[in-house]
Amino acid sequence: MKILVTGIAGFIGSHTGERLIKEGHHVVGIDNFDPFYSKTFKEFNIEGLKASSSFSFYETDIRDKQSLKNIFSEHNIDAVVHLAAKAGVRPSIENIEDYYDVNINGSIALLEAMRASNVKKIAFASSSSVYGNNEKVPFSESDVVDNPISPYAATKKSCELLSHVYSHLYDFDITCLRFFTVFGPRQRPDLAIHKFTRFIDQGKPIPFYGDGSTSRDYTYVADIVDGIMCALNNLDGYRIYNLGESRVIKLNELVLAIEKALGKKAVIDRKPFQPGDVEKTYANITKAKTEIGYNPTYNFQEGIQLFVDWYNQHKEYLYNN
């Protein structure tokens, strides 16, 4: 099949593109190289993809309607994996308008381009952030998610609602995938695991928010990509699935794991709890396992070691360019 992947140069996008090509698909990738973090990282992410004859790349914005129209006209797209978005909970609080414009209006532009080209199959990257500070754990897809606590989370919930509208009105097959704290090689440099690893390695204090009791359901990127593939193979109507490891790791435990993998001790810079951050994420993945065959296999410690190995291999290039 020919699959359009938005946000192809990002962390999850580049891994997804490689997996699709490995399984015999042609990938049409688009990315606007948003300056949220260095273009060097993103260009590095897609070096391998660009070497493949099964990859076509367009540097463009998902809000560019004419560009999307041209891409759909040039390629006989079978399905879409929509990963492009303004990312991050904390920066969304400072840039609400930008987040709504890219994440919501950009998604509408993509859905409209699909509708005009009669392409009706799409897997959409949502987020565990839609659960907010849900008191019931683990989080289930049937839980009420009407209380987001950050603009980023609100945009993801809005896109889930838009997906339902397009499924209902236009018979789209849309699966929304709620990712739970994805990590692994190529992780964004602003995220905790990557930032902590770099700061500990360089002997810099790490920003440590709260008392260390906040916890996350960390999910290794290869498991997330498996979940995306499961979704693509089972697109049927409107569905929502959690993609996580269904295990919870506290912030204190995360730091210890990175220290062990690096063989270095962290210098802690304690800071107050941040507005918009949730206290815990914890995925119930029974529905994804039962309905689409999702089955995560990486444990947290193994994933941290794989990330640190990748970091050590590439840090000289990534941080000196």
- Residues annotated as catalytic are 152
Distant-in-sequence, close-in-space partners of 255: CB < 8 Å, separation ≥ 6: 196, 206, 208, 212, 266, 268
Show the beta-strand stretches assigned E in the chain: 2-6, 26-31, 55-59, 79-82, 121-127, 173-179, 182-183, 205-209, 215-216, 219-220, 238-243, 249-250, 267-271
Cis preceding linkage at 138, omega within 30: yes
Counting every residue written for the chain, the total comes to 321
Opening angle at CA 134, ends 131 and 140, nearest 5: 65
Q: Is the Cβ–Cβ distance between 235 and 173 less than 8 Å?
A: yes
